[in-house]
C-alpha cells in the first residue's frame, strides 16, 4: 500500500527468463574435396573463433508504452492511474509531474495493473507521466504522456464514502470493516471501486471485501482477528468514476486496532454462556434465552453497539401480549431484529434452567456488568441449539457464512494472497441485507 514514505519514482523489478537466440547468422565455412566428407576439420563459426566458441548473444532491448491516460487526453478523471506495458525490462521507473514540474508521489497498485498516485489529482490540471524501462543492455527506453484532468464535478454528482468505525477505534476480534457509499454503486463499477479500498494489517491477515448491499461493503478476515492487530484502510475513491457521471468525493483513511481476544459461546441445551479469552474458558454464566414462542437465533453474531442504560419499548407491537416498556442495564445489541445481551434481574431464577425471554440473552446484573466491561464492539457471540436460525443480514452476520461462500460476495474474483515481506518503513500491512442506517426494529427483552 502506498504510504507517505513511498518514493516518488519507485523502481519496479521483475524476473525474466532469457529466450535463446536462433543462430540465423551462423554457417559452415566453405571447404572442398574429401575434407568435406571425411570430417577431418571442425566447422568454423562465421565471425571468427575456433569451433568451441559460440557468438555472443545481443542483450534484448527494453521497450515501454503508456496506454492510459493517452497522450494529450482531456477530461481525464482525477482518480486516474498510470497504465503502461514494458517488455524485456529488468527495472521500470514511473514519474508523474504537474505543470510546474513538481513530483507527484505514488506507487504501483498491489495488483500490479497500474501506478496509483498517492492521492487524487487536482481537477482541471495538467500532468506529465514518464515511464522508463531498462533492459539487460543497460539502455533505457522511455514513454511519456501529457494529459489534463476534468473539471470538478458538481457536489450533486459526488459520492461520499464513510466508515462505521472512527479513527483509532479498538475493536473486538470479530469486527468487520464497514464502509457505506452515498448512493448505490452500479454493478459495472463495483470491481473498480472495490479495487480502490486498500486494506493492510500488521501482522498480516488474509481477508476479502464483500458487497453486503449496493451501498455497503464489508471486509472480513478469513479467521477472527489476532489480538493486537493494527489495521490501516486507504479509500482511494477521490475522482473515481462511479457510473452515471458520478465520481468519488474524496480519498479517506481509517486506522484502528484489535483489542483482547474475547469470544462468547451460548448453548441453549445447557442454558450456559462460556466466556473465552485467548481460546481458553475463563468464566461460565447462566443464561435464559428466548421462550418457545420467541426463540433466540442460532448462529454467529457480533456486538453492534453497547449502552450502559437504555429503555426497551415495544408498546407499538400489534400483539398486546408483547407490549412492554422496561429500563435496561448493560445492553449489547446483537441483531437489528432486537436481540441483545442484557441484565435481567427479573429472570435470575430461570437463568441456567429455562428460556423465558423475548429472544434476548438474559443474565444477572453482576454478570451483565462483567460482560459489558470485557467486551468490545465486534466481540463475537455464537449461539447453538435454538430452533431458529440466524437470518443473514440481521445484524453483522458476516461470520455466519462459510468463507467459501463469503468470498463470492466480492466483485473481484478472489485469489488467496501471498503473505507479504514485512516493510518496516510502510504502514501496517494489509443475500439481501439489512440497512444499518435504518432505525432498528424494537428490542426483545
Q: Which residues contact 20 (CB under 8 A, 6 or more apart)?
A: none
What residue spans in the chain does CATH classification 2.60.40.3780 cover? 1-18+31-152
Residue 149 has pLDDT above 50, yes or no: yes
Q: Which residue would you say has higher pLDDT here, 321 or 15? A: 321
Q: From 3.40.50.720, 2.30.30.100, 2.60.40.3780, 2.40.128.20, which CATH number describes the 1-18+31-152 domain?
A: 2.60.40.3780
Q: Are strands 161-163 and 169-171 parallel, antiparallel or unpaired?
A: unpaired
pLDDT band at 320 (very low <50, low <70, confident <90, very high): confident
What is the b/e burial string over 201-214, where b = at least 16 CB atoms within 10 angstroms of the residue's CB? bbebbebbbbbbbe
**Structure confidence at residue 407 (pLDDT):** 97
pLDDT digits (tens, 9 = 90+) for 185-232: 999 999 999 999 999 999 999 999 999 999 999 999 999 999 999 999
Residue 46 has pLDDT above 70, yes or no: no
**Are the CB atoms for 358 and 291 separated by under 8 Å?**
yes
Grid cell 545481443 — which residue?
58
**Structure confidence at residue 160 (pLDDT):** 97
pLDDT digits (tens, 9 = 90+) for 78-133: 999 999 999 999 999 999 999 999 999 999 999 999 999 999 999 999 999 999 99
**Are the CB atoms for 5 and 100 separated by under 8 Å?**
no
Q: Are strands 197-202 and 230-235 parallel, antiparallel or unpaired?
A: antiparallel
**Structure confidence at residue 291 (pLDDT):** 95
**Structure confidence at residue 377 (pLDDT):** 98
Give the alpha-carbon dihedral of 392, 415, 112, 66, to 10 degrees: -90
Query: What is the phi/psi pair of residue 187, to 5°?
Result: -60, -35
Residue 290 has pLDDT above 90, yes or no: yes
CATH superfamily for domain 262-395: L,D-transpeptidase catalytic domain-like (2.40.440.10)
**Structure confidence at residue 22 (pLDDT):** 29
What residue spans in the chain does CATH classification 2.40.440.10 cover? 262-395
Active site residues: 342, 360
**Structure confidence at residue 54 (pLDDT):** 59
When pLDDT is averaged across residues 60-64 and rounded to a whole number, the result is 92
**Are the CB atoms for 271 and 354 separated by under 8 Å?**
yes
Amino acid at each position: 500500500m502506498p504510504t507517505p514514505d513511498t518514493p516518488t519514482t519507485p523502481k519496479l523489478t521483475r524476473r525474466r527468463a532469457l529466450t535463446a537466440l536462433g543462430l540465423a547468422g551462423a554457417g559452415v565455412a566453405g571447404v572442398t574435396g574429401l575434407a568435406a566428407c571425411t570430417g577431418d576439420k571442425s566447422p568454423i563459426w562465421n565471425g571468427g573463433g575456433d569451433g568451441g566458441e559460440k557468438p555472443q548473444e545481443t542483450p534484448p532491448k527494453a521497450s515501454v508504452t503508456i496506454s492510459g491516460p493517452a497522450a494529450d487526453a482531456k477530461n481525464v478523471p482525477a482518480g486516474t492511474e498510470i497504465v503502461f506495458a514494458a517488455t524485456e525490462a529488468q527495472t521500470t521507473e514511473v514519474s508523474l509531474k504537474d505543470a510546474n514540474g513538481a513530483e507527484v508521489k505514488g506507487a504501483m497498485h498491489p495488483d500490479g495493473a497500474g501506478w496509483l498516485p498517492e492521492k487524487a489529482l487536482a481537477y482541471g490540471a495538467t500532468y506529465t507521466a514518464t515511464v522508463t524501462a531498462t533492459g539487460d543492455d543497460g539502455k533505457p527506453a522511455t514513454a511519456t504522456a501529457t494529459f489534463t484532468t476534468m473539471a470538478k464535478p458538481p457536489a450533486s454528482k459526488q459520492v461520499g464514502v464513510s466508515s462505521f468505525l472512527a479513527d483509532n477505534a479498538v475493536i473486538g476480534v470479530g469486527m468487520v470493516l464497514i464502509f457505506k457509499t452515498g448512493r448505490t454503486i452500479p454493478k459495472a463499477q463495483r470491481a473498480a471501486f472495490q479495487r480502490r479500498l486498500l486494506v493492510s494489517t500488521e501482522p498480516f491477515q488474509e481477508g476479502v471485501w464483500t458487497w453486503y448491499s449496493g451501498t455497503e461493503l464489508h471486509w472480513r478476515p478469513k479467521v477472527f482477528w489476532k489480538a493486537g492487530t493494527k489495521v490501516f484502510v486507504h479509500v482511494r475513491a477521490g475522482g473515481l468514476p462511479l457510473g452515471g457521471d458520478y465520481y468519488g468525493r474524496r480519498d479517506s483513511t481509517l486506522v484502528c486496532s484489535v483489542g483482547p481476544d474475547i469470544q462468547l459461546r451460548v448453548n441453549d441445551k445447557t442454558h450456559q454462556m462460556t466466556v473465552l479469552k485467548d481460546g481458553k474458558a475463563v468464566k461460565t454464566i447462566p443464561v435464559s434465552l428466548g421462550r418457545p414462542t420467541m426463540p433466540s437465533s442460532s448462529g454467529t453474531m457480533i456486538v453492534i453497539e453497547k449502552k450502559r442504560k437504555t429503555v426497551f419499548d415495544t408498546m407499538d407491537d400489534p400483539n398486546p401480549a408483547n407490549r412492554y416498556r422496561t429500563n435496561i442495564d448493560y445492553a449489547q445489541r446483537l441483531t437489528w431484529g432486537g436481540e441483545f445481551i442484557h441484565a435481567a434481574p427479573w429472570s435470575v431464577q430461570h437463568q441456567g434452567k429455562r428460556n423465558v425471554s423475548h429472544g434476548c440473552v438474559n443474565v444477572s446484573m453482576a454478570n451483565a456488568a462483567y460482560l459489558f466491561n470485557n467486551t468490545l464492539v465486534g466481540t463475537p457471540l455464537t449461539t447453538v441449539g435454538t430452533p431458529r436460525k440466524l437470518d443473514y443480514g440481521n445484524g453483522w452476520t458476516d461470520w455466519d457464512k462459510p468463507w467459501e461462500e463469503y468470498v463470492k460476495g466480492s466483485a473481484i474474483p478472489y485469489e488467496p494472497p501471498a503473505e507479504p515481506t514485512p516493510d518496516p518503513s510502510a504502514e501496517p500491512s494489509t443475500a439481501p441485507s439489512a440497512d444499518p442506517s435504518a432505525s432498528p426494529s424494537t428490542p426483545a427483552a
